[in-house]
Every structure is written in structure tokens, then in C-alpha cells.
A and B are shown apart, each in its own frame.
Chain A
């Protein structure tokens, strides 16, 4: 089975802190994605990567950056967390042009 593992299920951070959300997949997928999920807004794409060291902006990249140094790992970085970044963050991976497999999510609260 495909497994996408997100490092933290729940985080509480303070405004201005730097936050790292880590995601690892074990199926050798080329593509990896970071989504944000908020009630009534569905899943919104923050960034995605289709290869090591490659990244592309999604629909809401402002305030976020990403890193993909290894194929299996895709990190989401909040350089200076703000309260409006309180949300559920979902990582996903896929082969090219195929369905996404999601991690369990990381619920971030910024105080």
C-alpha cells in the first residue's frame, strides 16, 4: 500500500515562529503536493513538485515555501507563522497524471 506520512498530526505555534511540516512517501512517486484545507473552501493547492529540487506554485503560495532535496521527502515551510495560517495541511503524492494519495494531515494552530 502507498504510504504518505506527515511528521506531526497536531502543532501549536506562536505568531512569527518558523514552522516546518515534513512529508515522506514510500512509493517512489515523482509528484508531491501540499494542500491546505479550511471549512467551506475545500482543498487549496499551496505548492507542488514533480521532481527533486523542482517546485511550482499552486493557488495560494503566499507565506509558504517548500523544499524537495530527496524524491521521497517534501517539506512545507512557514517562514513567519501568522494566525491566518491556522489550518489543516495535507500532503499528497502521485505518479505523473494519476490519482493522489494523501497523508493523514497536520493540524496547525498559530496563536
Chain B
């Protein structure tokens, strides 16, 4: 099945640093979503993007829907210990009921 290319696969950072991760696709998507999964839990939606070029913030998180509609990035500013987890991007094509997921970015923070 189709998958998005999400990078990096893992990140080890110091508390207070900024984080950036991105997803690319060979297909055009109408919707980009970013989820976070904490250990032992299911993924939770962080940000949803519905329009090419859209830049959306949710607290310290900022995500953008690429102009080409084939990519998206997520930034986290001033990371804190509770940001630890796996971050997944997901794309949805026009009229598609299914999401296509990236492989995930595992974020580890050293206090």
C-alpha cells in the first residue's frame, strides 16, 4: 500500500530545542493531518490542514500544507518533556475515505 515518506525516523534532542519533521508524497492530497502517539496510547490528532499553503498553529506546534499538495511539515518550538512520543503525518486524497500514514518520527527529549 501507499505510504508517505516521513523524516526523520527518530530525533534525540535537548529540552528547549526546536523540532522540525516533514512528510512527502508522490501523490497529491487534499488533507494533511498530524497525530501524536504517547507510549501505550493510540494516536491523537494535533493539527488538521485542508488547504494548500495553509499554516496552522496549535500552541507550540505549527504545521504547513505544502503548496504542491505533496508535502507537509510540523514544527515544535521550545520542546518540553511531555512532547515525547511518536508523531505521524497522514494524507487524504480527494474523495478518499482512507488515510495514508507516514512511518512516524520518534521524539526523545533529554532534560
Q: Chain B contact residues: over half helix, strand or loop, or mixed?
A: loop
Cβ of A97 and Cβ of B101 under 8 Å apart? no
**Residue among A42, A99, A101 making CB contact with B101, cutoff 8 Å:** A42
A62 at the interface (CB under 8 A from B): no
Cβ of A41 and Cβ of B103 under 8 Å apart? yes
Cβ of B45 and Cβ of A101 under 8 Å apart? yes
Among B53-74, those with CB < 8 Å from A are none
B92 at the interface (CB under 8 A from A): yes
Cβ of B103 and Cβ of A4 under 8 Å apart? no
Cβ of B97 and Cβ of A104 under 8 Å apart? no
B-facing mask of A67-111, CB < 8 A → 1, else 0? 000000000000000000000001010001101111111000000
| Contact (A31, B97) CB under 8 Å given A42-B88, A43-B88, A97-B92 | yes
Cβ of A40 and Cβ of B103 under 8 Å apart? yes
Cβ of A104 and Cβ of B42 under 8 Å apart? yes
Among B64-111, those with CB < 8 Å from A are 88, 90, 92, 95-99, 101-104
Among B1-17, those with CB < 8 Å from A are 1, 3, 6, 9
B21 at the interface (CB under 8 A from A): no
Cβ of A105 and Cβ of B42 under 8 Å apart? yes
| Contact (A90, B95) CB under 8 Å given A40-B9, A40-B103, A99-B48 | no
Cβ of B1 and Cβ of A58 under 8 Å apart? yes
**Residue among B35, B41, B90, B99 making CB contact with A105, cutoff 8 Å:** B41
B44 at the interface (CB under 8 A from A): yes
**Residue among A40, A42, A48 making CB contact with B98, cutoff 8 Å:** A48
Could you tell me which B residues sit within 8 Å of A by CB distance? 1, 3, 6, 9, 31, 33, 35, 40-45, 48, 88, 90, 92, 95-99, 101-104
